Amino acid sequence: MRFPFKTGYDHDLGLFRDPVQRRWYAALLVGTLILPALVPDYVGDISLVFIYGLCGLSLMVLAGYTGLVSLGHAAFLGIGAYAHVYFVQDLGLPWVAGVLLAALITAGAGTLVGLPALRMTGVYLTIATLAFALIIQEVFTRWDTVTHGLKGRPVDKPVIFGISFANDLAFYFLCLAVLIAGLWLTANLLRAPTGRAWVAIRDSEIAAQSMGVHLARYKTLAFAYSAALMGAAGALFAHKIGFLAPDIFSVLLSIQFLLMVVVGGLGSLHGALYGAVFVAMLPVLISQARDQVPQWAGQAVGVFGKDAGSAAFLALDRFVKQPGLEPGIFGLILVLFILFEPLGIYGRWRKVQLYFSTFPLYKRATFRRQKTYMRSERLR
Amino acid sequence: MSLFAAQDLAVNFGGIRAVDGVSFEVEAGQVFTIIGPNGAGKTTIFNLISRIYDPSQGRLLLRGEEITGVPPHEIARRGIARTFQNIELFEHATVLQNLLLGRHAHARPHFASELLFLPGVRVRERANREAVEKVIDFLDLQAHRDSLVVNLPYGVRKVVEMGRALCTEPVLLLLDEPSSGLSVEETEDMAFWIQDIRTLLGITVLMVEHDMSLVGAVSDRVLALNYGRAVACGTCEEVQAHPDVIKAYLGG
């Protein structure tokens, strides 16, 4: 096992645990920079991973760190997207100003939702955010002047300071830059008193209050900050999908965001990103599997005779072309994670790390009693 | 003038009068203990002092200043810190983070500078860390600094919770059953710490406790409650010998 050797208090204030970790993150950065050259066909999908990463970060702050579970985050994404497009395309503001204003407006909306959150906890708050999302979706449908209603509105490619980010590769780097900025800001907050106050609220409201944490202020702040991140993500999301319509920002999208933080692992920034990779790439994998699996099955069964092979192919083909397969798989995965790995992909990763760092001494029982749930999961 | 005073304190929960006209005064530098059978209203008094409940009647005075109308998050800044009967630590945070949160009472919000982690934040964090390290040294928590609270045994958690309260630099420390769930040796350690907190740190202690050996070892004054009313007040021996107290515990 490796113990970090600390020589000063600043060691615990840094973003990275030790120089080794810093080098790993540098390697990861280089990796993301050269990734488009390795998999040019997937550049678009990976930029969606980055945008979802921002969304995951946003919900992680709220659900993972402050313990307030929201099922309405798609609404914030929508507000950010529409606001950005309105400011840039209708009012002709610069792109950066559009993003910042979108973040500000969603922060305002987040504050509004956060206010009732001071009186509600657990599942009741979740239902309130759900109601908020439904109302906002209705607003998107009716507010023609800004949203163009059900007709939807096309979104131009981003142009920043006269530089066009029209091609996929440029947009990839734009998303990466915004994601890194979001990560940096969030990590800063989490290592400062604000982040500690959030964690305190998550783990014990009564103790946090007795230690001097102003519950109302910090809960509202969590909502506002989370919403602002979502607003910035919304601006990128608008460019990514190229066409805004109210039905995009549905409850299903909110559920996907929640899935992201739960599957990734509540209470860690890594988890938000793992979850984003998972949620953004799974549909890609499913659609590929849709084409491939029946063929493979057909060939495999085809060994027993041509008729059996084609019958297997047809049956499987019909099954995978069923609508609703994707949400079904998402739901199944969510259930499996909650049952077997409450700390998500990140929790699993930590176990793998521990296995190798303690190599011959690892015991299965090490994690036997550690199937703990955080309070945000228990929904007190 | 006494450091802390409760005057004619009362609270109703529906038809139940949990605390019924209790008055007491805690002098600076004392260890003041509240005892009483289950349901006597001891923890309720603590919750009234930390402003989690609003009293139906009566006043709370800290150094002569009324704190009855102060919001709960202000109490820590005024100099009252507390622990809880069933340990309310932040379980998925490290011991260090728990203790650092104790410094929150004296922090002013600096959201924008924290967002960018400007040098000022680093300076304040270093100062907080230094204050926390003093408490870690005082309570011998060095070995547990970086462990998550979920992974700690109960006895250590009790000490960590007391440490977190000490980090707020209180003038009055409320300990809600400091010895509950502790072994005999841990209880003895707790008695030494309570004495040290009073004599070395000069913090006045108000505690709720059932273990009479601990009460006798550390308390200057004892208040006995029954059904929300004060039954007896005095030194430990006086209260233990008081016929009403014996009646409250043994019936009759």
The pairing of beta strand B16-26 with beta strand B4-13: antiparallel
Say whether B17 sits in a helix, a strand or coil. strand
- Asked if the Cβ–Cβ distance from B92 to A203 is below 8 Å, we say yes
pLDDT for the residue A291: 79
pLDDT for the residue A5: 80
Judge whether residue A21 has pLDDT over 90: no
- Asked if the Cβ–Cβ distance from B88 to A206 is below 8 Å, we say yes
Judge whether residue A371 has pLDDT over 60: no
pLDDT digits (tens, 9 = 90+) for A191-233: 999 999 999 999 988 899 999 999 999 999 999 999 999 999 9
- Asked if the Cβ–Cβ distance from B104 to A9 is below 8 Å, we say no
Helix (H) or strand (E) holding A259: helix A251-264
A148: pLDDT confidence band, cut at 50, 70 and 90? Answer: confident
Where are chain B's structural domains? 1-79+170-252, 88-169
- Asked if the Cβ–Cβ distance from B72 to A10 is below 8 Å, we say no
Q: What is the ipTM of this complex?
A: 0.91
Amino acid at B143: A
B53 interfaces chain A, CB cutoff of 8 Å: no
Cα separation, A69 vs A58, in Å, equals 12
- Asked if the Cβ–Cβ distance from A200 to B104 is below 8 Å, we say yes
Nearest to B92 among A206, A221, A374 (CB): A374
- A62/chain B closest Cα distance in angstroms: 16
A370 vs A244: which has the higher pLDDT = A244
**Which chain A residues have a beta carbon less than 8 Å from that of B128?**
193
Residue A175 CA, chain-centre distance (Å), reads: 14
Across the A:B interface, residue pairs with CB atoms under 8 Å apart total 113
- Closest residue in B to A218 (Cα) is B109
A298: pLDDT confidence band, cut at 50, 70 and 90? Answer: confident
Average pLDDT, chain A: 87
Q: How many Cα atoms within 13 Å fall on the side-chain side of residue B88?
A: 21
Which token pair is A100?
């910042």
- Asked if the Cβ–Cβ distance from A374 to B106 is below 8 Å, we say no
pLDDT for the residue B91: 87
Alpha-carbon dihedral sign for residues B85, B88, B94, B97: negative
- B79/chain A closest Cα distance in angstroms: 10
Second-level CATH architecture of B1-79+170-252: 3-Layer(aba) Sandwich (3.40)
Q: 10 Å Cβ neighbour count for A168?
A: 16
Judge whether residue A378 has pLDDT over 60: no
Judge whether residue A310 has pLDDT over 90: no
pLDDT tens series, chain B, 252 aa: 789 999 999 999 888 889 988 999 999 999 999 998 888 889 999 999 999 889 999 999 999 899 988 999 999 999 999 999 888 898 889 999 999 999 998 888 788 888 898 998 999 999 999 999 999 999 999 999 989 898 899 999 999 999 999 999 999 999 999 998 899 999 999 999 999 999 999 999 999 998 888 999 999 999 999 988 999 999 988 998 998 888 888 876
- Asked if the Cβ–Cβ distance from A204 to B150 is below 8 Å, we say no
Nearest to A9 among B73, B101, B129 (CB): B129
Judge whether residue A139 has pLDDT over 90: yes
* Those residues with Cβ within 8 angstroms of residue A198's Cβ, 6 or more apart along the chain or in another chain: A61, A65, A66, A190, A218, A222
Chain A residues bordering chain B (beta-carbon distance below 8 Å): 9-10, 12-13, 185, 188-189, 191-194, 196-197, 199-200, 202-204, 206-215, 217, 221, 267, 370, 372, 374
pTM of the model: 0.89
Please name the residue that has the structure tokens 């019936």.
Answer: B251
**Which chain B residues have a beta carbon less than 8 Å from that of A13?**
122, 125-126
Cα separation, A249 vs A280, in Å, equals 16
How confident is the model over A338-362, as a mean pLDDT?
82
pLDDT digits (tens, 9 = 90+) for B211-252: 888 999 999 999 999 988 999 999 988 998 998 888 888 876
- Closest residue in B to A195 (Cα) is B114
pLDDT digits (tens, 9 = 90+) for A241-293: 999 999 999 988 998 899 899 889 888 899 999 999 998 888 888 888 777 87
B137 interfaces chain A, CB cutoff of 8 Å: no
Q: What are phi and psi of B125, to 5 degrees?
A: -65, -40
- Asked if the Cβ–Cβ distance from B93 to A197 is below 8 Å, we say no
- Closest residue in A to B117 (Cα) is A188
- Asked if the Cβ–Cβ distance from A211 to B114 is below 8 Å, we say no
What angle, 0 to 180 degrees and rounded to 10, lies between the N-to-C axes of helices A168-190 and A269-302? 130
Q: 10 Å Cβ neighbour count for A306?
A: 11
How confident is the model over A308-334, as a mean pLDDT?
79
- A203/chain B closest Cα distance in angstroms: 5
pLDDT for the residue A339: 82
- Asked if the Cβ–Cβ distance from A207 to B168 is below 8 Å, we say no
pLDDT for the residue A379: 42
- Asked if the Cβ–Cβ distance from B84 to A217 is below 8 Å, we say no
Cα angle: A61, vertex A63, A67; to 5 degrees? 105
* Those residues with Cβ within 8 angstroms of residue B209's Cβ, 6 or more apart along the chain or in another chain: B33, B34, B35, B175, B177, B178, B179, B215
Domains of chain A: 42-380 (1.10.3470)
- Asked if the Cβ–Cβ distance from B90 to A9 is below 8 Å, we say no
**Which chain B residues have a beta carbon less than 8 Å from that of A203?**
89-93
A380: pLDDT confidence band, cut at 50, 70 and 90? Answer: very low
The pairing of beta strand A159-160 with beta strand A163-164: antiparallel
Q: In what order do the strands lie in the sheet with B221-226?
A: B80-82, B172-176, B204-208, B31-35, B221-226, B229-234
How confident is the model over A32-41, as a mean pLDDT?
91
pLDDT for the residue B62: 92
- B226/chain A closest Cα distance in angstroms: 26
- Asked if the Cβ–Cβ distance from B101 to A217 is below 8 Å, we say no
